[in-house]
Amino acid sequence: IRTEAPLKELYKDAFQIGAAVSPKTIVTQGSLLAYHFNSLTAENVMKFEILHPQEDVYSFEDADVIAAFAKEQGMALRGHTLVWHNQTPDWLFEDGRGGLVPRDVLFARLQEHIQTVVGRYKDVIYSWDVVNEVISDDAGDENAFLRPSKWLDIAGEDFIAKAFEFAHEADPQALLFYNDYNESHPHKRERIYRLVRSLLDQGVPIHGVGLQAHWNLFDPSLDDIRAAIERYAELGLQLQLTELDMSVFRFEDRRTDLIQPTQDMLELQAARYESIFRVLYEYREHISAVTFWGAADDYTWLDDFPVRGRKNWPFLFDEAHHPKEAYQRVARIP
Ligand code: XIL
């Protein structure tokens, strides 16, 4: 029996509170999700390689389970993701004779995929991460812009605009997002800004910027987070935090000895969540949802990334789904 206040109620006048889920976690974390969260994202099962592993094979079973749960619970559902360089099957780019397809074939395949997937979930999914992570991370090369990929090799940068156009055709009501990580680092922030600005200038249907927000106890700085929100808000689009988690390790930290978080880590995490949610709350007019990339510390992709098998504790709820000190701090802001 829960006695703490539901996050979704506390933040209802500010933004939605979301969680990434799988067919497994909607069972193992079902009551926590229903109590605190009013939005969901499929962590993996709506990605290209899972939905559409071969040209003539779709597999919607797992995605349908998530969609049905969101409907039953009356929760919002975000779609993730249509165009990405990861978890995308090779057949999409290949001509079956050892070469790559020409761009018109790639676009026809992409359009068919988007029509089928976005069309299928039109009544339950209200927003899609249409294009994910296409901006270069290269901090050393100031001319770097788009990440090298098969998409770029085959089609040049038009695949980005095309994806948004196809998604808009498939569901004219859906809110369409560009989504990326390291989004608060100044060099990447300016590249993301430039991409979205140019899409808007071309009249491409795009409605939001997703800040993945895979953060840790030390990075990015609060000033950089604030600067990123302000910069993206200048685009006049809505912003969402789409994949928030707060690793207790610095990215370059490869230590594997911890089997539980230290008291210092938990205190730092509580303080960090508090200061971040203060900023998010302050900018609530621009921010429509804050989605965590999970819900509680019993399951996080960070248990396997970037160090395989290392436990992490990135959320507001512990492994037994009890509220952590970080929850208390976030709960008292609104
Ligand atoms: C991750 C999932 O959490 C993992 O389970 C999977 O193995 C790899 O992908 N950016 C994204 C997400 O946009 O889709 C990624 O999700 C995390 C980074």
pLDDT tier, 126 (very low <50, low <70, confident <90, very high otherwise): very high
Task: Say how many Å lie between the CA of residue 44 and the centre of ligand 1.
Answer: 7
Amino acid code (one letter) for 257: D
Burial class for 228, CB neighbours closer than 10 Å (0-12, 13-18, 19+): buried
Instruction: Give the DSSP per-residue string, 219-250.
Output: -S-HHHHHHHHHHHHTTT-EEEEEEEEEESS-
Output the CA–CA distances (angstroms, integers) from residue 303 to 103, 217, 249, in the order listed.
38, 16, 11
Q: Cβ(85) to ligand 1 under 6 A?
A: no
Q: Cβ(301) to ligand 1 under 6 A?
A: yes
Q: Encode pLDDT of 195-213 as tens digits.
A: 999 999 999 999 999 999 9
Q: Determine how many CB atoms are found less than 10 A away from the CB of residue 262.
A: 10
Q: What is the mean pLDDT of residues 8-33?
A: 98
Atom of ligand 1 nearest to the CA of 181: 10
Q: Is the pLDDT of residue 1 over 90?
A: no
pTM across the whole model? 0.98
Q: Do 38 and 58 touch, CB atoms closer than 8 A?
A: no
Q: Do 284 and 294 touch, CB atoms closer than 8 A?
A: no
CA-nearest residue for atom 4, ligand 1, is: 301
> To test ligand 1's pocket by mutation, which of 41, 86, 131 has the most ligand atoms within 8 angstroms of CB?
86
Q: Do 206 and 199 touch, CB atoms closer than 8 A?
A: yes
Q: Encode pLDDT of 300-310 as tens digits.
A: 999 999 999 99
Q: Is the dihedral of CA 43, 47, 53, 59 positive or negative?
A: positive
Q: Is the pLDDT of residue 330 over 90?
A: yes
Q: Encode pLDDT of 158-187 as tens digits.
A: 999 999 999 999 999 999 999 999 999 999
ipTM over the 0.90 cut-off: yes
Which residue numbers are catalytic?
133, 243
Q: Encode pLDDT of 246-261 as tens digits.
A: 999 999 999 999 999 9
